[in-house]
Structure 1
Amino acid sequence: MKTFVPTSVSKTSRQEDTWTLVPKANQPLPAGLNGHVFVVAPLPPPEDQPKRGERAFPNGDGLIYRLSFENGTAKLTTAIAKTPCYYADLATQYDKHYKSLAFRDGGVVRMSLALGSRNQLNTAFLKMNRRLLITYDAGRPYTLDPQTLEVVEPIGATKDWIVILGGLLPISNIFQPYSGSAHPVCVPPKQPNSGQSEPDEGFIVNYSSGYNGKFKVPVNRVLNRFFGGMNRLKLERKRLLEHDEKMDSNEYWGRFTDLIRYKSVANADQAQPEYKVERWRLQLPNGQPVLIKQSVHQMGITEKFIILGDLQFGLEYSQIFSPYILSFIWSRGFNRLSHWIKNPLGEWLYSVFLQLLESAPFTDFYLIRRDQLDDPKYPSCQANQPPQPLVATKISLPRTVSHFAVDYADSEKLIFHVGHHNGLDPTEWINQFDQPVTRQPGKDYLRKDLQGFLVGTTDLGSFARYEFDPETGALLKSESVSDPGLDESEPNSSLPTGANTWLPSVYTHRDLLDQADSNTVQHIYWTSWGFSWELIPQRIYDAYRDREYREIPLEQLPDHDVPPTLLCLDTTSMTIADAYAFPEGHAAYSPQFVPSTVESQGTPASRHGFIVCVVLSDHPDDPEQPQDEFWIFDANCLHQGPICRLHSPEQPLNLGATLHSTWLSADEFATYRYSEQERLSRREQSVKQDYEQAVATAESQGKQRIKDLFETIIYPHFIAQTSEAQLIAQLKHSTQSASADVAHSDDSAAYAITAPNESMPEISDNGLARSTTDVAATPDQ
């Protein structure tokens, strides 16, 4: 049966390799297409490993795709973003000696009680003046070498970051959980194309939102009083014993929001600079602390302001520990129960441990004046020093926000360009006990084969432009546009026609300030993911039935599927200037604007170029066989469809449901590169600095296995950036060769890094070629 959502969205290859892509149907690569498009996707774990916990699709190792256009050819290169915790995770999956340290999935996060939380680097990129970053909401960003696709070093050492909930979570402090932002910001060059003459100056947040679960208001009230009392006791103890009445940031328990600035400092000995890290604790003008209710998924920057968005990407703490609680229940014979007992009991368990927590029907933003950062009245501090305040102004918008952009120019007005996704929570997924909506018996169909995938929307989305007074924060003007994409020429018709605003997801536009006069967003390209009953569980339908600020009543939801759309929004007229609706059975992700090198013939610079998209689909004769492609559109003529579709003729591509993207020119690509020696030395320095003390502490507590893990696997393989195929082969070979009773304290040689030209044990296709997102929680095996 043909489906609206392709099965390919639940299948992703973990293969690290390079392919030459060719156009289909004799469509040549367009003239003017140049540079390198980078996209990232969260990967499911290897298919040959047992499922541990309940996994949502944003949870997974980041797989980087680099699509390079050079000399009339298109080459695709893939690599996994390999952090130290990545190697720990792989070892606990394939080496029996470390099975007890294994990581488990808790919704959108993955963690180990013995080792800590994963930093998966699977969300977005940030182009700075001197380096390229890859990012993740729940971890430190890392610098990325664009040529080798190797991660190099994190932004700030562990000593520069403060853990969530004051470190009170009952998990290890080795891989510490941080709340940051997947979209940090940086100061753009003062002059267009100034290249290496400008220093790097970037900004990110480090915050703890406290407890976000059920009854969060009374629970946080109790915790605030408890933490306040404990902080006063700590302060009194320091006064009596140390004659010091100040506490550093790491000593404060409770909720906080800190702004971090990382600024380059010239280093004559290295091509890439060193970075100085500073921080401030944010407070409102009345002295009250800035407290994030959901997630600072995205930040923005203008000439005068740094902007934090408190967006609907919140983490529910019950999700973190659900794998351990549910696995215990499963292991007690739950799966052997009759389905008429198992299903209602499972629904109840999920409602308790993976419950949907209602998000705010509005979105808060915080504005921080950049001139405060160099004002002596607002001195910065380090994480091990007493926090220093910095003032932020709060503004609010109705409805939830998926992503936003801001004009860099802000002398007269502060302008926001916003996508309101409405009608869903982006951190909710289809689970194994979800039921289809019963609104239309016989018509509604929930895709249970897409367990773990993002739920569909229950309301029409919209795009909006908001103008604020930059001095007072007062809203001056707002305009919005929405379109259900239905044929209104026929009475009561609900057939899709084309452009629509169902579920705005991610956007792209020409880089600001890449030309002297390009300091405003004139055209912005959004993908809307469409509407389908295949993705709407009954519990999501019920949760958003009576939500405030609905675009349309629930009773007016369409009977038919509405396709994903790529559209161009004219931000001046606030109209949809152009659009393309994707065919049934195709899913579109990660649009990326690529400026053309061909001289413009009167086309505005903001539309003179190409849009590159990831498009997932199934083979028409075999829905289990992905047939994924990269589609290229003329940015000034979306409605004509793709002008080039790139595919792999020898082996069909199996791409992931990708998230964000970026584009590098040839000059930027060269600027961001590291030498091999610098990559190795920076990785060695950073990983030892971050973890040597924590490993020594674990050893002193009798946890020799953790020390072995770092010395035999994490340190050498992170520094060398050993490929996944190579390390799995070594782990399997070592496990098969070693007797069960051989002591592992002496097996360093078993994990010695194999040179690239040495022969490796054969890897089965099942272990590497493909994984699925069928993530029903099952007992550990």
Structure 2
Amino acid sequence: MKRRDFLKVAAATPLLPSTALAHSELVESSFPRSIMHGSLQASSGTLDLLEGNIPQDMYGHVFIAEGIPLETNHLSPNGRGAVTRLDIGSGKIDFTRKMIDTPSAILQSHITHGLDKFNLMGGTIYQSLTLGYMNYCNTAPNYMGNNRFAFSYEGGTPFEFDATTLDLVTPIGMPDEWKSSLPPFIDALTPKKHLFPQVRTTGHPFFDLERQECFTINYGGNVGTMGRKDAFLHLIYWDLNGQLQRWNIVDRLGNNAWLETTSHSLGVTRNHILIFQTAARVEATRILGTTIVTPQQHKTPVWIIRKRDLLSAQPHVIADYIELDFDTSDIMCDFDDSHGEITLYGQYLGAMDKSEQLFNWERLYFGGRVERELSGYPVAPVDVGGLVRARIWVSDSHAEEIKQDFHVIRDERLLWDMNDPAYRGHFQFPEKFEHIYWSAIGYRPEHLPRRVARAYEDYPGRLYDNESLPKQPIPSSIVHMDCQQMRITDSYTFPEDCVVRTPQFMARQGSTAQDDGYLFTAVVRKHPSSTDSNGKEYWFFDAKDLASGPLCKLAHQQLQFATTNHALWVGSIGPRPSGIYKANYGDFLRQKQPLHSRKVRDLIDSHLLPQFG
């Protein structure tokens, strides 16, 4: 490490004296702390109706992924994975909740000490010296068609699961079909016995239900801007049956494409594939124990590939590079790209940092310190967010933004801490988006660390500066964005004691319109809606009338979920078909097994091979 970098690290490493808690300028928090706690045990039952009535034409199944923080400072959305399935019909809603038992998560739960133990690094990822890196597979459930489903994760390979049992069935691709994302000098020191390589991919692979194919990515080799000469970005194609096929992405001069931060979203149109660099940064010095914040950049880099250039005999594919003048995380596109014109819809994140969590006992901007119980929860935004539409024109030889078509919506009442989108056909894009629903988590001044406020004080485009930031909370909301008018046409603001995440559109029986259905939301309350609720609730709305409030609220005393991530709705489910794709993962485990301790060898025999072998 260079001397100036060392001094920066030393200056940013917090010294936490055991002094009295500094006085806060804020009133007592209405935040529901129970969002930091989720059960590690399976549960099932019939949800209790707290208020309202369940619509008779609401049907199907909702899958909700979540993360459970396991220790102090553990970033909660990146916690231990769990999934809940809701089964809706006959005027009632049943639930089944299970842990997402990836092989690495299974070993973590049985190994609590020694060299094999998984240790939390920088509050974000778990690593074992002998086993490798954790893959919780908790970002999003995905429908692949033909009763096949997959969990995806930005820090590991996706897994297929059976929708009826919620059990994982197979990894998608063998370990040697994915390239390690570690820088080469670190990869060279990695023990050959590792079972779980470090793989970086997108949180949203694209499954084309008509063509029965999947596009995703594999990237790495660098940490931020360090190690750019070794950086790579690969496009992966999968026909849902055979081996993965990959292309190395290069620019028109033959230089490797690369990503500085992460790629939460992937865009696929009829003729193009768009790889977005999204606003969540893996801090290079975090594993050294620092809390340095490198601000997200006010831009979204995009690599644009023409599908016709994907030739199986060629190892490389050329992509054009552009930069959009906003930062985002979840971004979608019309599948229709007639005349080379691509229309995008996404959040405007602005001065917020989805990759930062609260650290135990660190100083807060409005006074006081972070309490241990809240450490790991995502930090508050430093400005109001928004919603954007952007358009790109792609010719045979280049790509450029159609700047006159750019549109941004900012709303100081509704759009703080922009979160997930919901739309008909979630994770499969319509020909043209007409309606998108968005959740905004809201603003909690008591969740704003001093280091984050200072890091973003000069961020461009801010509506609020640090001095004018509200000292009162701004509640969660859901909004209905009309994509043709580019305006918010309907909204609902939740009570202040609620945290709302994970909206999901649910089609009404027999409907075809993009706004004809219901909207699901996961709600955690400080003050439960009734004595039958533990504060972990599901609220359902009429998608055409959010403002009227929830049609019904449901909960169950045994349903204990934590921070939810993405969800998925499908009309029906069935067992995964037999005799189809299954990676030969058992042979990989048996090959590595003799290199490990007796404890690991026994766990491979008793827990991994029976399920994955």
Is 1:458 paired with 2:382? yes
| 1:507 matched residue in structure 2 | 421
SS at match of 2:165: coil
Letter of the aligned partner of 1:627 in structure 2?
Answer: G
Partner of 2:173: 156
**Secondary structure class of the residue paired with 1:714:** helix
Asked whether 1:431 is paired with 2:359, we answer yes
Question: Displacement, 1:647?
Answer: 1.5
Residue 760 (structure 1) aligns with? none
**For residues 358 and 24 of structure 1, what CA distance do their matches in structure 2 show?**
42
Judged with a 3 Å threshold, the aligned counterparts in structure 2 of structure 1 residues 694 and 565 are, in CA distance, closer, same or farther, namely same
1:764 paired residue number: none
The structure carrying a bigger helix percent of its residues is 1
By how many angstroms is 1:372 displaced? Answer: 1.5
**1:614-641 deviation digits (Å, cap 9, x = unpaired):** 1001346999x94211100000000011
Secondary structure in structure 1 of the residue aligned to 2:608: helix
Instruction: Output aligned runs, 1:351-366, within 5 Å.
Output: 353-366=290-303
Cα contact 1:512–1:520 (8 A) shared by 2: no
Name the CA shift for 1:719/1:513 in 2 (closer, same or farther; >3 Å).
closer
**Pairing 1:365-764 to 2, within 5 Å after superposition:** 365-373=302-310, 375=311, 379-380=313-314, 388-412=315-339, 413-438=341-366, 449-471=373-395, 472-476=398-402, 477-485=405-413, 500-511=414-425, 518-597=430-509, 605-619=513-527, 626-648=534-556, 651=557, 653-666=559-572, 669-670=573-574, 673-674=576-577, 682=582, 686-696=584-594, 698=595, 703=596, 705=597, 708-720=598-610
Deviations 1:523-571 (A, max 9, x none): 1000011112111011111110011232433333223211110000011
Residue aligning to 2:30? 4
User: Over residues 354-410 of structure 1, what are the superposed CA-to-partner deviations in whole Å (9 max), with x where a residue is unaligned?
Assistant: 32223322110111111122x4xx625xxxxxxx21111112112321211111111
1:171, CA displacement in angstroms?
4.5
Once the two structures are TM-superposed, the CA of residue 719 in structure 1 deviates from its matched residue by: 4.3
Q: CA deviation at 1:424?
A: 2.2
* Structure 1 letter corresponding to 2:295: E
The offset of 1:187, in angstroms, is 2.2
Match in the other structure for 1:277: 244
Distance 2:390 2:548 in 1: 31
Q: Contact 1:181/1:298 (CA < 8 Å) preserved in 2?
A: yes
One of 36, 58, 76 as aligned partner of 2:95: 76
When residues 656 and 308 of structure 1 are mapped into structure 2, their CA distance, relative to the original with a 3 A threshold, is: same
**Secondary structure in 1 matching 2:243:** strand
Q: Following TM superposition, by how much is the alpha carbon of 1:652 offset from its aligned partner in structure 2, in angstroms?
A: 5.6
* Structure 1 residue runs without a partner (length 5+): 46-50, 190-197, 225-253, 265-273, 323-349, 381-387, 486-499, 723-781
**Amino acid aligned to 1:205:** I
The structure in which a higher percent of residues are strand is: 2
Does the residue aligned with 2:76 lie in a helix, a strand or coil? coil
Q: Larger relative CO (CA 8 A, sep 6+): 1 or 2? A: 1
| Partner-residue secondary structure (3-state), 1:712 | helix
> How many angstroms apart in 2 are the aligned matches of 1:317 and 1:362?
20
**CA positional deviation for 1:418:** 1.2
| Code of the aligned partner of 2:331 | F
Whether the 8 Å CA contact 2:77–2:564 is kept in 1: the answer is no
In the alignment, structure 2 segments of 5+ residues that lack a partner are 1-26
Tell me, yes or no, if the aligned pair for 1:398 and 1:549 is still in contact at 8 Å: no
Matches of 1:615 and 1:405, distance apart in 2: 25
The structural deviation recorded for 1:284 is: 0.9
CA contact (8 A) 2:204 2:427 kept: no
Please list, as runs of the form range in 1=range in 2, the aligned pairs for 1:99-248 lying within 5 A after superposition.
99-106=114-121, 107-130=123-146, 131-164=148-181, 165-166=183-184, 168-169=186-187, 170-172=189-191, 173-189=194-210, 200-212=212-224, 216=225, 219-220=226-227, 224=229
Structure-1 separation of matches of 2:67 and 2:171? 19
What is the aligned partner in structure 2 of residue 727 from structure 1? none
How far did residue 56 of structure 1 move? 1.5
Change (3 A) 1:514 1:549: closer
User: Residue 194 of structure 1 corresponds to which residue in structure 2?
Assistant: none
Give the distance between the partners of 1:612 and 1:75, measured in 2 at CA. 15
In 2 relative to 1, CA 502–510 (structure 1 residues): closer, same or farther, beyond 3 Å? same
C-alpha contact (below 8 Å) 2:173/2:244 kept by paired residues:
yes
Change (3 A) 1:302 1:594: same
Give the alignment partner of residue 42 of structure 1, picking from 49, 55, 67: 67
| Counterpart position of 1:85 | 104
SS across alignment from 1:286: coil
1:24 counterpart SS class? strand
Q: Kindly tell me: are residues 5 and 695 of structure 1, through their superposed partners in 2, closer, same or farther at Cα, counting changes over 3 Å? A: same
Q: Distance in 2 between matches of 1:534 and 1:15?
A: 31
TM-score by length of 1: 0.70
Instruction: Tell me what 1:755 maps to.
Output: none
Does the Cα contact within 8 Å between 1:587 and 1:615 map onto a contact in 2? yes
Would you say the 8 A contact 2:281–2:355 is kept in 1? yes
Letter aligned with residue 278 of structure 2: L
Per-residue CA shift, 1:287-339, capped at 9, x if unaligned?
Answer: 221011111121111101111111112222433x44xxxxxxxxxxxxxxxxx
Q: The residue matched to 2:363 in structure 1 has which SS?
A: coil
Distance 2:186 2:269 in 1: 36
Partner of 1:311: 278
Cα distance in 2 for partners of 1:44, 1:582 equals 25
Q: Which amino acid aligns with 1:220?
A: G
Task: Tell me the residue number matched to 1:488.
Answer: none
Q: Which amino acid in the other structure matches residue 375 of structure 2?
A: Q
Q: Distance in 2 between matches of 1:458 and 1:613?
A: 25
CA–CA distance in 2 between the matches of 1:421 and 1:613? 21
| Contact 2:268/2:274 (8 A) holds in 1 | yes
2:81 and 2:99 in contact (8 A); partners too: yes
In structure 2, relative to structure 1, the CA distance for the partners of 1:186 and 1:598 (3 Å cut) is closer
Give 1:167 shift: 6.8
Q: Secondary structure at the match of 2:244?
A: strand
Percent identity over the alignment?
24
**Shift in Å, 1:9:** 1.4
Distance in 2 of aligned mates of 1:276 and 1:446: 47
Report the Cα distance in structure 1 between the residues aligned to 2:426 and 2:259, rounded to whole angstroms.
28
Counterparts of 1:766-781 in structure 2, within 5 Å, are: none
Contact map agreement 1:302 1:407 (CA 8 A) in 2: yes
Match of 2:14 in 1: none
1:292 corresponds to: 259
Q: CA 1:513 to 1:366, structure 2 compared with 1: closer, same or farther past 3 Å?
A: closer
Kept in 1: contact 2:593–2:601 (CA 8 A) = no
Contact 2:348 2:408 in 1 (8 A): no
When residues 544 and 621 of structure 1 are mapped into structure 2, their CA distance, relative to the original with a 3 A threshold, is: same
Match of 1:746 in 2: none
Pairing of 1:259-270 with structure 2 (within 5 A): 259-264=235-240
Task: Determine helix, strand or coil for the equivalent of 1:606.
Answer: coil
